[in-house]
Amino acid sequence: GMKTEELFNDGDVDEEKKKIYYRVMIRGAMDAGNPLRGNFTDWQAKAKMNPELYQRKADHLRPGENLRIILINRQTGYIGSLTTPLKNINEGGYGAISFPIAEIKMLPPNLSVRVERRTTVEHGLTKDEERHYQVGYEGGATANDNVIEIFTEWYEQDGRPLPEELGEYGYTGRLAKIVAENELAPEGGDLANFTIKPGKNRQVIRVKDEAITREHYYVHVHAESKNNNPDFATLGAGEGKLQYRPAHYVPFKVAVFDEKATIISRNAWRRAREQGQVEGRFPLPVYRWLYRPEMQFSLFELEMQRITRVVDEEGNISIQVLNSDRPELSAGDNAVELLFNLLANDTAPLPLLGAEREIILSLGGAEIEIAIGSDQQVRFTSLTQLNQVDLHDYMVIALYLNHDPENLLWEFAFGLADIDVDSDNNDGFNEPTLTTEEDKVEWRKPKEAPPPENIGDTTHLKNPGKRSPSAAGDLDEDQIPVFAEFIQIDQSGDVGVDEAASFIPVVLRFPAQLDPEKVQLMIKYEASDPKELKKLSKDTDHIKSEKDLPRDLYVMPSSEGRMRIWKKNVKAIRSRESVKDGGDFVPHKILFTPASIGFVKETDGQKMYKATVYLETLATSKLAADAEIIFEVREFQ
């Protein structure tokens, strides 16, 4: 037999020291022209050299040049690398290029597998818009997606590129799907096995067609190259849940949604935006890249049959909005009802390695867990939280997995009616500045008043909403209270107004996607009808001058209403008639048109129609923040 030193290449493992060695014979100058050695191609073949390197290109190794050594464990996929300078041949003795190098540590590869999907919104205010989502670990996609792509990124541990020459000697990926209980089979065609090369590569792409069905998909990686027939069929990576996975797999990084980091990032962005420090888009969700034995995702299919707005408590007024081009939702609605089918593969996925899946439908912060099945019905109630939504966004009903909430599987967007006032009391009698802080106060529940024994406790006065002066006074001392000034005409024929009085500006808005010719508006509040104002007869026997006229000659209506909303401010001539009839008073719960109070389209890019009305308060509150105003927009065809 041949002596060890006569072998073209060989290697061995020292299990005690956990070391390996490998050596290869290189043809030297003295071998040139020796007829007994065979030709150069034979030599290269015996040395198991890459055939692509058979070409006669004179680029010999030279002392001092850097040599890059890369080791791959073909069982576990662990990888290590080292760059070392080539020393002088004489230092090894007997012509051997042999010198010690530093230890090479074997670590899991810096390999990530990422799944992305692109889908088109089918209904709602954002219909026909395309969405691009990253699919989290054990996340979801849909059978209606336009494109589903799988990307791999493979680099050195420190992020440096790996040599391109590793290409055909890299790992092998496999896309498989559930075919029976706890049984996987490779996806057909070119999607079964694919070579994982260094760098970033798009490995698998699925375009929307009839072949895309509701499947549970798995991406596994084997340490062998594709040409060496990697074995994915042998199972038993471990006990329990791992028993159904390939016995030999390469761990790689997958995207796991980090809810806490996402919230911190977005809150910081909001604060910076309010201070004028940042502009631009909302921060993207934060994902942590963690090692897992596989990348799993499932395809679902949602068939929405009906979306209904239930406007009144009795359910007598309901509006079907699924196929509306401009669906609208209001905080004054009683409920939103959905009827749908949610479908998935009849066979369950392999036991999940992460948290159990919860499939969620959400609306305005309210979440309802749903199950797989047909003819399901969900009802969202308590819609007052809808006005907490930032007007830079739409109000969206969304379907997602609870652990991957940024990856929306389905969405339906409504337009929103919005009402704003200077709720944080820093704009005086000017229009509100429409800040986030105002919104927070508007929809923050006020604290209850303390019991009598704690009468000094003032915490219930926090977040009272806008403080509005009572119109019961007579600030200009003309013996006519503010609440009656709008009808008074003095001897010169001018309308009497209280120059010292002030009303509170209230801004109303609705999305510009709505046609103002096809909507009607409504405001719900504790209204006092000015037409019910009573003026008592003067008792001239006891009055010596006009200044002695008692204020209580003007009597407010006996109804519980304590507010009025006007189309015009306090110093303008105002008609007591309803805006519906051409007047200036906005009644409670009466439909009127946008034109009747002067809505105009904003020019600051907000995509909203806007109008300003004015609030008059007639009585003081018994508790802080005990009065509310609800603004609704209703679309008709």
Residue 92's region, left for phi above 0, alpha for psi from -120 to 50, else beta, is alpha
Please write the tens of the pLDDT for every residue from 385-416: 554 444 434 578 999 999 999 999 999 988 76
Whether the Cβ atoms of residue 80 and residue 107 lie closer than 8 Å to each other: yes
**Closest to 615 (Cα-Cα) out of 501, 463, 498:** 501
- Please give the torsion angle defined by the CA atoms of residues 125, 127, 132 and 138, in that order, rounded to the nearest 10 degrees: 90
Give per-residue pLDDT as tens, 301-351.
999 999 998 877 776 778 888 988 767 776 667 889 999 999 999 999 999
Q: Note the pLDDT of residue 243.
A: 94
Please spell the DSSP secondary structure of 180-212, one letter per residue: ETTEEEEPSGGGSEEEE-SEEEEEEEEESSTT-
- Residues 169-182 have a mean pLDDT of 94
- Tell me the C-alpha distance between 300 and 142, whole Å: 5
- DSSP state at residue 226: G
CA-based Rg of the chain, rounded to a whole angstrom?
A: 38
Band (536; pLDDT cuts 50, 70, 90): low
Please tell me the pTM assigned to this model.
0.67
| Burial zone of 73 (CB within 10 Å; 0-12 exposed, 13-18 middle, 19+ buried) | middle
DSSP characters for 273-312?
HHTTS--SSPPPPPEEEEEES-EEEEEEEEEEEEEEEE-S
2 pLDDT above the threshold of 50: no
Which residues share a beta bridge with 376? Answer: 340
> CA neighbours within 13 Å on the CB side: how many for 102?
12
Which tens digits make up the pLDDT trace of 351-391? 999 989 999 999 877 899 999 999 999 999 866 555 444 44
Residue that the structure tokens 């761990």 belong to = 251
Which residue has better confidence, 86 or 456?
A: 86
Q: Give, in order, the Cα–Cα distances in Å from 584 to each of 510, 574, 629.
A: 20, 6, 18
230, 195 contact by CB (below 8 A): no
d(CA 425, CA 158): 54
Token couple for 12? 């061995």
**C-alpha pair distances (Å), 483 with each of 468, 491, 572, 616:** 14, 20, 13, 8
pLDDT tens for each residue of 262-284? 999 989 988 887 787 877 777 89
Place of tokens 């944080």: 424
Task: Compute the distance between CA of residue 274 and CA of residue 453 in angstroms, rounded to an integer.
Answer: 41
Residues 366, 381: Cα–Cα separation, whole Å = 9
- What length is written for the chain? 637
d(CA 617, CA 483): 9
Amino acid at 361: L
How much of the chain exceeds pLDDT 70, in percent? 70
Report how far apart the first and last C-alpha atoms of the chain are (Å, whole number): 94
User: What are the CA-CA distances from residue 70 to residues 53, 89, 104, 291, 626 (Å)?
Assistant: 18, 22, 9, 21, 72
Digit-coded pLDDT (tens) for 585-618: 999 989 999 999 999 988 765 567 899 999 988 8
Taking only the tens place, the pLDDT of each residue in 553-569 is: 566 665 668 889 999 98
Angle CA 209–214–220, to nearest 5: 100
Q: How confident is the model at residue 493 (pLDDT cuts 50, 70, 90)?
A: very low
How far, CA to CA in Å, does 510 sit from each of 21, 178, 330, 338, 449?
Answer: 73, 48, 10, 24, 35
What are the distances in angstroms from CA 327 to CA 332, 364, 372, 486? 15, 15, 27, 39
Q: Would you give the distance in Å from CA 413 to the centre of its chain?
A: 13
